[in-house]
Structure 1
Amino acid sequence: MNVIAVSLVSLILAIACVLVHYEAFKMVASSARSAEVGGFPSRGRLLIVIFGALAAHTVEITFYGFVFWGLHSYGLLGEIVGEISGGWIDFLYFSVTNYTTLGVGDIRAEGPLRLIASSEALTGLVLLSWTASFTYLSMENFWKRR
């Protein structure tokens, strides 16, 4: 039963993050395009892309942080252990280290919750790569027009 629950939670989170990322990039592309009409230089359009991407990643990391906090608080599917005070910031920090694949190790998941943490690392890696590609293509596009 735990494997099914963990797989379902991981799948829902991955889908939610991909959808947030897609919609954020759609809005960013539209804003950057319309900023050109407003007379913004290439630098301004690129800043829209960068800050939009950072906002999307922050939302996605927060999704995972809430899930870790909720599952830990209710004792479902394992727990988060280590140098933890139990505050929200611990779960957000844990989420950031997983999403970015930094994996410091001072806070870690135990039990089936480890699979959700692992899937966050995979999701983060894919979405960070997508951001790098989108940013590169945006830069290439904006700077060709100069």
Structure 2
Amino acid sequence: MDFQAYHELTQLYADYASAVDSGNWDLWPEFFTEQCSYRLQPRENHERGFPLATLSFTSKGMLKDRVYGIRETLFHDPYYQRHVVGAPVIRRAEGERFECEANYAVFRTKLSEVSTVFNVGRYIDTVVRTPDGLKFASRLVVYDSEMIPNSIIYPL
């Protein structure tokens, strides 16, 4: 992988974090290919090879449906979130396809409350080059804690 490709990859990770932190949910699905996979899975299940995931979406259409749910049907206390994402580590690069990992921490701030650590883990990604630039073909979010405070509403 050359410097330009690595720079594009790190920009993809930074832009993703900025988009999901902005609350403009329409941006989120655009980081993915049409036939994508987005899953949230506890570390214990991942390490044991268990398929059970907290959330599992298998297309960009399903991501758009989740956006609709966030806006129109899910009732929850509103909160802000802020991602801190480590530099991606390239595990494999073949042509225009990259298998990467990056650690993340998400902080949550509810209105009139102090910020707390909400979720910590790592992304395990397959990124592909498309005519529109780099996109996630798959994103597996492996979170370290077995417990989730309340629920996960917004994308991690």
| More relative contact order, 1 or 2 (CA 8 Å, 6+ apart) | 1
Which one has the bigger strand percentage?
Answer: 2
TM-score (norm 2): 0.27
Which one has the bigger helix percentage?
Answer: 1
Q: State the structure with more CA Rg.
A: 1
